[in-house]
Structure 1
């Protein structure tokens, strides 16, 4: 079996975990939590980091921290994992969807500008599969209109746009450290910001809204238990020490796939670069020219012991939202094509060149059929 993802632990993960166990600091109170927050925020180029239990928790906290309320509008891409949509709807705010760019598979900025109204409070930029939208332009749009920019950079660890780290463009940014991410803590996430008040609010929200200046167990607002453990953070510190090597390996995987699969009729490969960024190949996605063909190829690859994952299903076609009367009659053709015809091949850091060759040979054979 060649799984769709295999994480790699070849640094100080074991050493730091043993240190946690021997010291007895295994909860969220340990020193690795603050170390990971500080080091990851510094790596991205932000001032404050608030480590949390997962990427979805980070989104919940980010949206609550900025004061999103009922009646506010939030612009976001329709082609994304469902987490940011869930987080927005829990606040009572309204989601305004936009379609995607055909080449980068990220949200189309011309459409973003056309959807801005006086009620637009925030834009969530979800960075997809190794590339992003033009964040410099998006930052300028938000500054001009007085809109809060939230980056969901769960898939974009170490990615750069115009030489600046993704996650540093937003007023507030979130990351995930799920096992398929470029660095992992098993589960885990983080909220990043330059605003000290937003950081303080995020720290309160992740910890049941305890206030350091008030008596313990006396609460004045709602919050969550979204804390990251010292064990998770210890793994994160070790992973972060090797993040540049992980990114180099991801780019090598993308290069090898591209060399072996380019030029196949009816197959769209991910862009290697744009005029503002180079693909980090968090995963190697492909889009076929027919939905039935895409389903068939995924099923047949599975029979050959090769793992795949379908692309995200668009928000405007999610049954859970349609049943609530949301997005009915909305149509986003590029997102619909990506959702139906796209999937990604094994892309984990444990993948080797021989396995890539096997995947490509099986894929070419199926397409030729």
Structure 2
């Protein structure tokens, strides 16, 4: 039986919640979405949360919220999922790429600061696979400049501790409920902010630029339909009830790899802080192609890192990307996820040890 890289399950409670929502005629955005938004904001310690159809639209709404327009520049890390760059690009901005740190595949703040021009409107920090970027440091460096800090936290919901979760230091943070995330509704996402004006603007933008769709007699902003559904929100409420167990399981999964691969020279673990929640166990391999081919010959699915964004012709390249290139070449994602059977991880580790000996 093939071992998949990611394993997460929706069960009877989620199915019942979705069923109840349908029977009670809570279908489109309504009471369940409002309840989920309230609970998400409370969990993260943020003033506001706004649910949207997916993580990509969360980043798009954040960019619309800060008023990104043609000619603006938005700086993002070179090593991230391409949706981070597509959101500002679709609004006409020039997306400028910054290299990562040398030891962790996260934005190098100092190198990002080198890219600032008079056209820079925002810098996006990406919390990747549960590891947290230096948002707080970046905010301090940018104080008084008028440049927004947007957190792409789509891969880092619940990473951190009470009062200090990923995304809580930015002007706007973006999250995802996709099936590959620690908490899922199959698709979905949300943004958070503590800023009253940004919240009011984003609420309008996700409702076609209006306060009231039912009345629709006052057009204020050029917006879009980014509504979420009560059916999916009802699933999210159940998933949120389980978040602590998901966090503990994910941490345990990663620790199994860390402990087992100590002293194996072919493998290197990425530095991880105690309060970070690594979603999918990742390792740096001396020969990632060899490792992937060997594990997949044993019916173990292994996911490589995606291509760095400087491979896309439509983004701005203004520096070298040696660090990001290194992670693209050497990083592999191993079987994990909050519902991954322990025996699958043990099997994967046994085969990795064969390669490491």
Determine if contact 1:209/1:224 at 8 Å carries over to the other structure: yes
Counterpart in the other structure of 1:235:
235
User: For the residues of structure 2 that align with 1:201 and 1:267, how far apart are their CA atoms?
Assistant: 47
Determine if contact 1:131/1:278 at 8 Å carries over to the other structure: no
Match of 1:331 among 295, 303, 320: 320
Question: What is the deviation of 1:100?
Answer: 0.8
Please state whether the residue corresponding to 2:197 is helix, strand or coil.
helix
Total equivalences in the alignment: 356
Counterpart in the other structure of 1:299:
293
CA separation of 1:7 and 1:107: change in aligned 2, threshold 3 A: same
CA separation of 1:270 and 1:11: change in aligned 2, threshold 3 A: farther
Match of 2:276 among 254, 276, 279: 279
Unmatched segments (≥5 aa) in structure 2: none
What TM-score do the two structures reach when normalised by structure 1? 0.90
Deviates more, 1:188-197 or 1:127-136: 127-136
Q: 1:20-31 residue pairs with structure 2 within 5 A?
A: 20-29=21-30, 31=31
2:331 is the alignment partner of 1:342: yes
Deviations, residues 21-48 of structure 1 (Å, cap 9, x unaligned): 220212223x110000110011111111
CA separation of 1:272 and 1:215: change in aligned 2, threshold 3 A: closer
Question: What is the deviation of 1:143?
Answer: 2.0
Counterpart in the other structure of 2:76:
76
Question: What is the deviation of 1:268?
Answer: 1.7
Please state whether the residue corresponding to 2:192 is helix, strand or coil.
strand
Question: What is the deviation of 1:215?
Answer: 4.0
Counterpart in the other structure of 1:9:
10
Counterpart in the other structure of 1:34:
34
User: For the residues of structure 1 that align with 2:76 and 2:171, how far apart are their CA atoms?
Assistant: 15
Counterpart in the other structure of 2:45:
45
User: For the residues of structure 1 that align with 2:223 and 2:352, how far apart are their CA atoms?
Assistant: 48
User: For the residues of structure 2 that align with 1:340 and 1:158, how far apart are their CA atoms?
Assistant: 28
Deviates more, 1:230-239 or 1:109-118: 109-118
CA separation of 1:136 and 1:327: change in aligned 2, threshold 3 A: closer
Unmatched segments (≥5 aa) in structure 1: none
